[in-house]
Amino acid sequence: MKQETKKDRFVRLATARTKSVLEKLRVLGNCANTAMYEYNSKDIDAIFSAIEKEMKRVKVKFSKPVNEEFSLK
């Protein structure tokens, strides 16, 4: 049995987790049904502000160098 590589593990987990996030966003979209729910623009702005803030925070984790070496230069 072949051992899972780091890349394989990343692809497996990132795929599953991305699908999960996208499904949760679709479910959140169900709250847009005004026949069932009442909301205002302030509510919507708060929701999407929080989502965007977290997306930016997570994206930074992927863009910074993995192995930073210490230097006093």
What gap in Å lies between CA 19 and CA 68, rounded to an integer?
A: 31
Name the residue range of residue 60's domain: 34-64
pLDDT at 11 over 90: yes
- 26 is a domain residue: no
**What string of DSSP letters covers the chain?**
-PPPPHHHHHHHHHHHHHHHHHHHHHHHHGGG-TTT----HHHHHHHHHHHHHHHHHHHHHHHS-SSPPP---
Please state, in angstroms and as integers, the Cα–Cα distance from residue 59 to each residue in 15, 17, 37, 64, 72, following that order: 16, 14, 32, 9, 28
Q: Write down the mean pLDDT value for the chain.
A: 93
Span 46-67, average pLDDT: 91
pTM across the whole model: 0.78
Domain count, the chain: 1
Note the pLDDT tens digit of each residue in 26-50: 999 999 999 999 999 999 999 999 9
What was the pLDDT predicted at 54?
A: 97
Q: Is residue 29 part of a domain?
A: no
